[in-house]
Chains A and B, each alone.
Chain A
Amino acid sequence: MTEMVHGTVPVQTGDPVLPRWWRTIDKWTMSCVLILFGIGLLLGFAASPPLASKNGLEPFHYVIRQFAFGGMALMVMLALSMMSPVLVRRLAVIGFAASFAALALLPVFGTDFGKGAVRWYSLGFASIQPSEFLKPGFVVVAAWFMAASKELGGPPGKSWSFGMALVIVALLAMQPDFGQAALVLFAWGVMYFVAGAPMLLLLGLAGGAVAAGAVAYDQSEHFARRIDGFLTPDVDPRTQLGYATNAIREGGFFGTGVGEGTVKWSLPDAHTDFIIAVAAEEYGLVLVLVIIALYTTIVVRSLTRLMRERDPFIRLAGTGLACIVGVQAMINMGVAVRLLPAKGMTLPFVSYGGSSVIASGIAVGMLLAFTRTRPQGEIGDILLRRGRQG
């Protein structure tokens, strides 16, 4: 806004950081994130004591840990949201390089915690899942490349970023972690879509995906069984999905009451992948709808703010970040209500997990930094247009 008063009394360059931050930040999205985090703690009180007692720990061991991780995540989020987009980009590139190296070195130094897939580094007191941190970094770098390709004489950034995405997908598929791989590919796809993917290509891709699915269904028995299991109306009540579905039904509209739920005792992943089932059972449909509304608000509001954005880099990076958060939430809840085939995916901010919650904090922090209100040069446009007309 300094342009408007150009030539008048010289003002102090750069007004105080905090007031400017407060004025320009997307307060709605930030409030939604804070509420979600609170809900996560609340559900942690319900969902994690069974796990703690199984592992011989204090009942609220996991709640306390989540509180600590959540605090760190919120600090990271606030710090990132105060930075300028350029600084965010710089840090993201560094973070991307580091987490990419960590991902590539997983087969050497990683551990699988007996779960069959090498996804973690064990630090003793905590574990780190590099792929969680890779996603926001990748989104920013890919957005930068794509934006660069928009410049006259710019590099072929779309192909480069696609190549990067393929390498990451290959690394993730090797672990194997198809969920994260799909998420990375999805983030790239969304950014490419907003960056102006040709309509013909989009139709071709859609057709190709349908054809590939049909072939996989025919050829792979494993795949076919997964899909059949998803399509059958009856769900085997002895599976995690069966328990989750039953928990939602038990909960009804207003829930069975705080601490009255039983699903957390039967579900091994009650505190992570199926936390929404715990929410539905104890607090009912009301809380679930609130959670859904919060995620919807975050995604839709961020996208709306990005529509006004002139800078292609900020627009693309913001889109990618908002979409990975939104899609992760969507898949998590879609699985629990059997709208989507089973796939382990955490609910951002709500599910237990240090890597998950801090990575979500980073992603949303960056998103907040990108969606801050900033001069979009509308006056310039108006003047320019007038000049042209004149």
Chain B
Amino acid sequence: MIRRPLRPLARILRARAEGGNPDAIEAENKRLRHEEMRDRDRARAEGRLVVLGAMFFLAFASIGGRMGVLAASEAAEPTASAGGNPVIATRADIVDRNGRILATNLDTHSLYVHPREVVDAEAAKAGLAEIFPEMTPEELDGLFDTDRAFRWVRTEISPEQMQAVFEIGEPGLLFGPREMRLYPNGPVAAHILGGTKYGEQWVDMAEIEGTAGVEKHFDAYLRDPANEGAPLMLSIDLTVQSAVEEVLAGGMMLMNAKGASAVLMDAQTGEILSMVSLPDFDPNNRPVATMGDRADSPIFNRALQGLYELGSVFKIFPVAQALELGLVGPETMIDTQGPMRIGGFPIRDFRNYGPQLSTTDVIVKSSNIGTARLAIQIGAERQREFLRNLGLLEPTPVEMVEATTARPQFPADRNWGEASIGTISYGHGISSSPVHLAQAYATIVNGGTRVEATLLRRTGPVPGERVISERVSAIMRQMLRLVVSADHGTASFAEVPGYRVGGKTGTADKPDARGRYYDDKVIATFASVFPADDPQYVLVVSLDEPVETSGDLPRRTAGWTAVPVAAEIIRRAAPLLGLRPDMDSLRPTGVTLTAD
């Protein structure tokens, strides 16, 4: 340490007195101070550089250490659970109203290949070609002759296939566990269930997502782990569904129809017990949408998505409304003299029923002119309001994704003129699905309260708003019963002993692509209720282009096609539904029990 002079100027004063240069001394002082500062600075920097060096050394050492720890640990197989969102593997089952399984999961394996680990690609290709005959040589080449680290071979394989692949002995072929969606009943209820596909796929699991039907509509519910595997219970009755499918398929073949559908609904609650659309498919192997007309594809649900002009089955709506409004009574005579012209549009009956028919006979004989006259009295506004109350002008509330797109087609308000009033009264110029029709029939016959179709199990009736009175509903049931039971009724083939079937037929010409009607292609529909005096079930059967050829001339009307099929369905399904046939009204036939 240099001791700082107490009097810094002393030296300068002395130097000045001795004739020296004070500036030099000043400069010397400055230099010394600078040097001192620099030394201090350097000492400090030295210390800090040591700190810095040590920090770097430690940092590098810890990286090296960490590398060592990592290198010593085992390499992990990639798993889906690490990072990202957890995936729920187990999808809830779907069961019918009695708890029988409609859709469940099955543990299986996927097959994938690590092309770079393959030892003998040619042998593996040959082996796989034998196990999976549907694989083309190009497909096999694509699997093995690639730079990719990974390729799926099959997303799900059977235990036998797995064993066979295992026996190829190729280390590059690997199996991953996974769950697949299984529909144990095959095509039964295929359209209702829809289908699933794999979403995100990993080696050790795959995400199942619904692609159609209930599977898609309830996708979130079925995946939700909060439900803890509680199954989704539908209103479908598996036994009835199966019986209806079988009978309908037979009927479709007998009637040479190209398609058919049936809806069986609880008239009080709106629960759909059975909904069938033919041709159908196996949801375990859901076909892709085909080219051509979508409405002819097996995956198309005719009962729910098919919008058709359903014809005379609509006649009960203007009649019920006219009764409700007090315009006519059941026995009021209505002018049915043809031909009739409204809005420049001729309306004819199937055959001439004479100058007058009672209201009941308008239904029983199915007079277009009679219903058109009633509808004209009702007017467009009230007709539209009534159809809306029956749910015929909006998509059905059925819990399937396809339901929302099935939007009935009908004229806009400003086009709903006299011609429309007339044609709509007998079911032309308005398109709706069989499910719509079943809903509307249930509303008319069940005492008059609005019914909303559902696929979910309901515990009791859900009273909807009143559409028609109890009285009118009872009259309508009598009329429907007469259509079947009267000798001259259009649906006399629908008589099923003991079940008191009532219903209404409808035979509608099909429009072609340009909107003109075919002469020889019809949609034949039968909408029925049973038992008519205690309405429990509504059944709508619809056949697409049926021809009944047992007679001299081909017959296409519903009375000859849809009605016998519906009767057979009721004969099979009613006992399954637990309905007691009313034996009191039956005359004993053949066997007489005597006791002596």
Contact = CB atoms under 8 A, between A and B. Distances in A.
Contacts, number: 139
A386 to B, nearest CB: 14
A280 interface: yes
A222 interface: no
A246 B75 contact: yes
A339 B149 CA distance: 28
Contact of A196 (B41, B67, B83): B41
A193 interface: yes
A262 interface: yes
A151 B30 CA distance: 11
A271 to B, nearest CB: 17
B52 A303 contact: yes
Nearest to A339: B66
A299 B53 CA distance: 7
Contacts of A190: 52
B76 A246 contact: yes
Contacts of B42: 310, 312, 315
Interface stretch (B57-65, B175-183, B431-439): B57-65
Interface stretch (A27-35, A92-100, A121-129, A249-257): A249-257
B149 A303 contact: no
A116 to B, nearest CB: 23
A152 B33 contact: yes
Interface stretch (A38-46, A162-170, A326-334): A326-334
B147 A237 contact: no
Contact of B50 (A236, A245, A307, A339): A307
Interface string B355-369: 000000000000000
Contacts of B71: 248-249, 251-253, 280, 284-285, 288
Interface string B29-63: 01001110110011011101110110011011111
B136 interface: no
A288 B72 CA distance: 13
B53 A303 contact: yes
A337 B63 CA distance: 7
B83 A292 contact: no
A245 B71 CA distance: 9
B48 A193 contact: yes
Contact of B60 (A152, A236, A295, A323): A295
Contacts of B75: 246, 249-250
A237 B33 contact: no
Q: Is the interface of A mostly helix, strand, loop or mixed?
A: helix
B79 interface: yes
Interface stretch (A9-17, A102-110, A227-235, A359-367): A227-235
Most chain A CB inside 10 Å of its own CB: which residue of B30, B35, B76: B76
Contact of B68 (A194, A234, A235, A285): A285
B70 A249 contact: yes
Interface residues of A, number: 58
Interface string A287-324: 01100110110011001101100101001000100010
B63 A333 contact: yes
Contacts of B343: none
Contacts of B34: 151-152
Interface string A340-372: 000000000000000000000000000000000
Contacts of A307: 45-46, 49-50
B73 interface: yes
Contacts of A239: 83
Given A288-B64, A333-B63, A195 B45 contact: yes
A229 B71 CA distance: 21
B78 A237 contact: yes
Interface in B9-41: 30, 33-35, 37-38, 41
A318 to B, nearest CB: 10
B593 interface: no
A238 interface: yes
B48 A285 contact: no
Nearest to A251: B71
A339 B62 contact: yes
A190 to B, nearest CB: 7
B72 to A, nearest CB: 7
B84 interface: yes
Nearest to B84: A236
B70 A296 contact: no
A364 to B, nearest CB: 15
Interface in B78-115: 78-79, 82-84
Contact of A300 (B56, B62, B74, B78): B56
A330 B56 CA distance: 8
A285 B78 contact: no
Contact of B83 (A235, A293, A296, A334): A235
Given A193-B52, A296-B60, A388 B2 contact: yes
Contacts of B41: 150, 196, 312
A249 B44 CA distance: 43
Given A234-B82, A248-B70, A337-B66, A194 B49 contact: yes
B488 interface: no
Contacts of A160: none
A292 B63 contact: yes
A339 B67 CA distance: 10
B116 interface: yes
B48 A194 contact: yes
Contacts of A304: 49, 53
A265 B149 contact: yes
Given A193-B48, A237-B79, A339-B66, A249 B53 contact: no
29 contacts: A150-B37, A150-B38, A151-B34, A152-B34, A190-B52, A193-B48, A194-B45, A194-B52, A196-B41, A234-B82, A238-B83, A242-B78, A249-B70, A280-B67, A288-B71, A289-B68, A292-B60, A292-B63, A296-B60, A296-B61, A303-B52, A304-B53, A312-B42, A315-B45, A330-B56, A330-B63, A337-B63, A339-B62, A339-B63
Given A236-B83, A253-B71, A292-B60, 7 more contacts: A193-B48, A249-B70, A284-B71, A300-B53, A303-B56, A306-B49, A310-B42
Interface of A: 53, 150-152, 190, 193-196, 229, 232, 234-239, 242, 245-246, 248-253, 262, 265-266, 280, 284-285, 288-289, 292-293, 295-296, 299-300, 303-304, 306-307, 310, 312, 315, 319, 323, 326, 330, 333-334, 337-339, 384, 388
Interface of B: 2, 30, 33-35, 37-38, 41-42, 44-46, 48-50, 52-53, 56-57, 59-64, 66-68, 70-76, 78-79, 82-84, 116, 147, 149
Q: What 8 A-B pairs are tightest by C-beta distance, nearest first? A: A236-B83, A237-B78, A249-B75, A234-B82, A285-B71, A303-B53, A337-B66, A296-B60
